[in-house]
Amino acid sequence: MSISMAKKLNIDELDVAEYLEKLNLNSDEVKKQWGDAGTKVGLKIWRVENFKVLPWPEKDYGKFYSGDSYIILNTWSTDGEKALGHDIHFWLGETTSQDEAGTAAYKTVELDNFLGTGPVQHRELQGYESELFLSYFKQFVILSGGVDSGFNIVKPVEYKPQLFHIKSVNNTLTVTSVPISSDSLNTGDVFVLDQGLKIYQWNGCKAAGSEKHKAMEFTSSLKSERSGKPEVVVFDQDDSDATPFWDGIGGKGTIKDEPSVNRFEKVAGDKILIRLSNASGTMEFKEEAKNNISLSMLDTNDIFIVDVASEVFVWIGAKSNVNEKSAAFKYAMDYVKKTGKKSYTQITRVVEGNENASFKSYFN
């Protein structure tokens, strides 16, 4: 499976409600599924395979496949406190199947219930991951391919040349497999062509020095994994002797003048507080306040959406309906679609009494 040929996930077509019907809250089966998850500080990752979730090897933490879906649990504690906190992320690769994405969504709800419904839940879409999510990894690598959808047997991924797009996000190096073509390049970033025993680093003329350095760390790690056998060569965009690199990606082409940008820069916009109501038999979104919003406006009996332009939070009141709690992400996704927001808008679910600092920061 390659990124250029695989069908991309249309998140707007994902019917979470359909998968929530499969939600399993049977204590014995759930306990067997999740084991000791969330009982000690640290990271745990599972990959969706054939409608189930299977533990992802710790040696591969930070490595993801664009054709797959994953569940990531971070268990943490505040200094001096015994109580544990949890953040659950479900990550959807851009070519994951609808079935895998749906399974990740409802299994996240299942894990949340197993941990007492207090965790903060986050939806992560490939290319639009949150800063919190990326902070878990020193290197965050996205490779093409993955487990086939449905009940097909999983086959080992065969090695082939790959072109990687290198970005530096705070202290995390992000590495994404992209189509092997000059069309993938831009002047503001760094790219690595991995041919096995030949590794070429190409620096865009506007690439930051920190990203060039991070890319060298990545190529060094590839060389170490292969017992030091590969030769690593670094080219700058204007180098005249970069023929091996250009030949490896199918020839020279026009390079996009695209400087590296901060994708985490907050989008300016109104802060809107919306109450969810199904009194009429259908879910409705009722605006309660705009910009001047306070925590006292939240009602423990209801569910609210807090739209802060660049992110949508869904807040669950402690006394709200149990079924509504489970469907919180569906409501948030419906809201994003109904209001015409970008489909990749960050969605985070918080529960009354366990709100995180990011959520609270938007209130007066």
> Crossing angle for the helix pair 98-114 and 27-34, nearest 10 degrees?
110
The runs of H, that is alpha helices, within 240-327 are 243-248, 322-326
pLDDT at 229: 92
CATH superfamily of 265-363: Severin (3.40.20.10)
**CATH architecture entry for 155-249:** 3-Layer(aba) Sandwich (3.40)
Confidence category of residue 193, pLDDT binned at 50, 70, 90: very high
- Are the beta carbons of 193 and 161 closer than 8 angstroms? yes
Sign of the alpha-carbon dihedral angle for 7, 9, 12, 16: positive
Bridge partner residues of 48 (DSSP): 53
- pLDDT-wise least confident of 20-24, 64-68, 171-175, 246-250: 20-24
> What DSSP letter does each residue of 123-141 carry, written as one string?
EEETT---HHHHTT-SEEE
Residue 50 has pLDDT above 70, yes or no: yes
Which tens digits make up the pLDDT trace of 223-255?
A: 998 999 999 999 999 999 999 999 999 999 999
**What's the mean pLDDT when you consider all of the chain?**
87
Compute φ and ψ for 267, nearest 5 degrees.
Answer: -80, 130
- Helix, strand or coil for residue 40? coil
HSE-CB for 81 with a 13 A CA cutoff? 8
Residue whose C-alpha is closest to residue 166's, from 210, 132, 123, 224: 210
pLDDT at 171: 82
**What is the dihedral angle through the alpha carbons of 18, 8, 315, 73, rounded to the nearest 10 degrees?**
90
CA 9, CA 344: separation in Å to the nearest integer?
11
Residue whose C-alpha is closest to residue 256's, from 211, 215, 216, 207: 207
Which tens digits make up the pLDDT trace of 74-91?
A: 999 987 667 899 999 999
- The set of residues, in sequence order, having a beta carbon less than 8 Å from that of 170 and lying 6+ positions away, is 131, 134, 135
Q: What are the residue boundaries of the structural domains of the chain, listed by start? A: 15-138, 155-249, 265-363
**Mean predicted confidence (pLDDT) in 17-28:** 70
Which tens digits make up the pLDDT trace of 250-305?
A: 999 999 987 555 565 666 789 999 998 776 677 789 999 999 999 999 999 999 99
Residue whose C-alpha is closest to residue 124's, from 67, 51, 69, 172: 69
pLDDT at 40: 93
Helix (H) or strand (E) holding 194: strand 190-194
Buried-exposed string 252-279: b where 16+ CB fall within 10 A, e elsewhere: eeebeeeebeeeeeeeeeebbbbbbeee
What topology does CATH give the domain 15-138? Severin (3.40.20)
CA 132, CA 300: separation in Å to the nearest integer?
27
Q: Strands, DSSP E only, in 3-101?
A: 42-49, 52-55, 63-65, 69-77, 84-92
pLDDT at 80: 65
**Mean predicted confidence (pLDDT) in 42-70:** 94
- Are the beta carbons of 141 and 178 closer than 8 angstroms? no
CA 322, CA 316: separation in Å to the nearest integer?
10
Q: What is the amino acid identity at position 45?
A: I
pLDDT at 262: 59
Confidence category of residue 148, pLDDT binned at 50, 70, 90: low
pTM: 0.84
Which tens digits make up the pLDDT trace of 316-346?
A: 999 887 677 778 888 899 999 999 998 889 9
